[in-house]
Amino acid sequence: MSDESNPHEFGEADFRSTVHSFEFWFEAVEGYLHGRPYGVSAATKEAELTERQRQALITTLCNYCVGETAALDASSGMIGFAPDRHAKIFLATQVVDEGRHLEVLLHRMAQLGVAAPEAEIEKRANRSLLKFKDRLLEFVDARDWEASIFAQNVILECLEFTVFRHHAGTADPVTAEMLRGIVSDERRHMGFGENDLGRRLIAAPHTHDRLYKIKRELDTLVLDTFSEALGELGVPHAERPDLEGDYLAAVARLGFRS
């Protein structure tokens, strides 16, 4: 299977029989991880970074670790109240993905000279992202499937997919290759969330209003995170990509407009 396989393009039957399986997961990750320890091939060489660039990248990676830890904690917790066995299987693959993401991010921080990553993450973490993490885990603790899958597999995964994809286009070669592998996973996670919620919204249209309120609550945290992330990367305001537009367009696929 090509690493370009896009779960958004599958029909309903194919999605449930394919994406909800370890076979699909094994084949997908093999395509872009084989021969790439910590997500990076041996042929990819480090670029020289200024101290300012190094510090900015460390801060950015600290915040990526916050997001990936949130997804790891949430996806592992959601297995216990997933609505069916297929969803449990998919979430099991997502737990492994999120654990790998966290591992490669911590490894990249070590390469950049960070000796105490936990302390750095605590010091540099984006407050809006921490609030988002807390709210997501509240949904999980309440065993609220619809709110949890919406906050994690639609909103958080969309946030990460959007930021990582744009960052990979401007990052140093090692960071860029690592991020491209993560983006491939995020696309799969988003596909699961959109498919699951899409079916639920058709079956129970009243669910839309409740999730829309959650979206409005979380939008501010997401947009603040985008702004701070671009600032950390040193992208001038005039040159910043429209991350907000990309995020809102993705969420709009489920009928959630601003």
Closest to 186 in 3D by CA, of 98, 84, 76, 91:
98
Task: Enumerate the H helices of the chain as residue ranges.
Answer: 12-18, 22-33, 51-78, 85-111, 117-124, 127-141, 145-149, 157-168, 173-203, 207-232, 243-252
Low-confidence ranges of the chain (pLDDT < 70): 1-34, 258
**What pLDDT is stored for residue 184 in this prediction?**
86
**What pLDDT is stored for residue 3 in this prediction?**
43
Report the 10 Å Cβ neighbour count for 38.
18
**What pLDDT is stored for residue 241 in this prediction?**
73
CATH superfamily of the domain spanning 49-252: Ribonucleotide Reductase, subunit A (1.10.620.20)
pTM assigned to the model: 0.86
- pLDDT tens sequence across 204-251: 888 999 999 999 999 999 989 888 887 887 777 777 777 788 788 878
